Amino acid sequence: MGSWGTQLLTYKGTATYTVDLGKLTRDDISLDEEKMMEKLEAQKTIEEADRFAKMSVWEIYQPIINAVTTGYSLEIEFVNG
């Protein structure tokens, strides 16, 4: 796709700026997975995402369990792999 640079746009008023990504391919995107994981772990983002995912699943299924029977609760566990 060529080299990327910066482009300064100055406009006074209302405007719409559109970027055509129609020709974007997998080769145009680079990902440093190791660096990304380090950043996510440092910011505790993974732990927060896991907590949110568990809560979301609990909110969906616990009312069903409560409607069917009493005395049971839902425990959610992630399996890595």
Phi and psi at 80, nearest 5°, equal -75, 140
Residue in the structure block whose two tokens are 């616990």: 62
Q: Would you kindly state where each structural domain of the chain is located, as residue ranges?
A: 42-69
Look at residue 2 in the predicted model and tell me its pLDDT: 55
Answer yes or no: are the C-beta atoms of 9 and 17 closer than 8 Å: yes
Q: For residue range 36-75, list pLDDT tens digits in order.
A: 888 888 888 888 988 999 999 999 998 888 888 888 888 8
- Mean pLDDT, all residues of the chain: 82
pTM equals 0.47
